[in-house]
Amino acid sequence: MIKSRFFLKNDPVFLREFDERLNLQRSCIEKHLFVPPIVTLKVSLSSKAFGERVFFSNSYVRNFYNWLVSQCAGATSNIGGSSFGDGSLANKSVTGSTRSYSYYFFHSYYINEFAGTQGSMLGIVIGKSSIPFSFDHYNLQDIISSGTNTNQLVYNAPSSPTRTWDSETRLFTVHHERSFYNGSGSNVSVTEAGFRSTLYYTGSSSDTFLLLRDLLPETCIVPPEETLTLTYNFSITYPS
């Protein structure tokens, strides 16, 4: 497995690693196992000096696993008790509140509650911490808020998710994209990214939960009046 680093889109090393991950997906299909998604994060700046770069995400946190098991295995979030950690399906919100009830964690049917809106801290979010990744992280470690003050970027409304489909390889990819504008008048350094979403933990009660956290391979400096764009790509091979 390659060490996390930025690649240009058509870098042979990146393409070779992507193909190896596709082969892993095909091996899972042959063994009748659910296929793990290939997740990449594309980073681009309006400045031509930086261009467009991509790296492999390795970022699912405990909240994501607990949500997935709750859905796939039909297990309520209190099946393992009320503590957030090993052996439990309890999830922890971005404010540190542990949620454990006799309900399944589930997403709303509103895309805005999954991917966010203009200025909201849902969907793709960014931060300025270099703290190493932990499976138990429940928020970015130093999130950048939306605005035009020092160390802020304007969170633009995310694009509606799109998909690409390759009928030959059976590869289905979903793309989530969001841009961030620097109106602060000074450079803003971005070192981490993630995905936060609304999850319901009772029939009518919801909270915001972190599902992904990535450390960028390099600090991305966003100059004044420039726009940073992040695209999360989720790719999975279908068996037939």
pLDDT exceeds 50 at position 187 = yes
What is the CA 13 to chain-centroid distance, rounded?
Answer: 23
Q: What angle do CA 75, 79, 82 make, to 5 degrees?
A: 130
Mean pLDDT over 33-47 rounds to 91
When mean pLDDT is compared across 7-11, 123-127, 182-186, the lowest value belongs to 7-11
**What pLDDT, in 10s, does the model give residues 83-125?**
999 999 999 999 999 998 888 888 777 888 888 999 999 999 9
- Cα distances (angstroms) measured from residue 111 to each of 28, 107, 157, 181, 199: 30, 9, 12, 22, 12
Give a three-class secondary structure readout of 162-189: EEEEECCCCEEEEEEEEEEECCCCCCEE
Is pLDDT at 128 greater than 80 in this prediction? Answer: yes
- Residue 1 one-letter amino acid: M
Residue 1: pLDDT above 60?
Answer: no
| pTM score of the predicted model | 0.93
Share of the chain above pLDDT 90, in %: 76
Cβ atoms 217, 71 nearer than 8 A: no
DSSP SS3 for 86: coil
Surface-to-core class of residue 69, CB atoms within 10 Å of its CB (0-12 exposed, 13-18 middle, 19+ buried):
middle
Weakest-pLDDT range from 6-15, 101-110, 111-120, 182-191: 101-110
Kindly state the tokens that stand for 166.
Answer: 């390759």
- Chain-centroid distance of CA 46 in Å reads 22
